[in-house]
Structure 1
Amino acid sequence: MIIEKTERYSDELLGFVITCLFCEAIDRSELQSWCAGFLGAEGAPDFLYDLIEFDEPIFKIYKVIGYVPNWSHSKNEEYALYGIALLRGTVPYDMPLSAAEMLDELARLPAIQHMFRKVFPSVVF
């Protein structure tokens, strides 16, 4: 699902960002930069400070947050995020499909790339 309002913090937006991290479309430093951008914003939770310093295995990120934020999305939208990782020169560790299939999903779902660019405007690829 496409998130229209990416300039305000929401649990759905955080869910998208974490999905990007798990798909390796972003790295830890980009997660930290995103969190820093929302510090002090209306409705932003205090755990963003903890995420800026987060250096444990990424599967432990939910312990820092205290719950699993939800971005409602299809498998194909997630595959498109793997496609972004590939375009950025990263070969994700556990891709569920081939690289060509991931890139095909990204081409088929340009709204995911558009949303990614809105959420991470400083990430160039």
Structure 2
Amino acid sequence: MKRTLHDNYRVEVHPETYGLYRSALANHEQMTALLKDIERSVKRHIDGVDGVVLRWDTREECSHCCLVWEVLTEADAADPRAQMDEHSVAGEPVCCDKAIYEFRVERGIQPLAEGRGGEDA
């Protein structure tokens, strides 16, 4: 029979970011410094705290199109329906032509055909 147990009790504190500029929100070092300031305040002012852990979510996105970072798997690279062309390989991004162009140039792989990517795509 299933039963539900509760454990790992904790309080999460989310920093006030309303007044911060977008550049500060995008700067990992600035946001980590803000969290460390909050950590010091919690330790200094609140009794009954066993520990404070700084955490953040991490996501990967394309630096060109800002879509979620996805790449061809080995199975995708072997499937002609998933390939951009016959030079597609595992690890190649799938989001935009600029990312594919950059990936291929870095690895010495044939670029996409004319009109399908490149630096100005």
Q: Same fold (TM over 0.5)?
A: no
TM-score normalised according to structure 1 size: 0.24
TM-score normalised according to structure 2 size: 0.24
Larger helix percent: 1
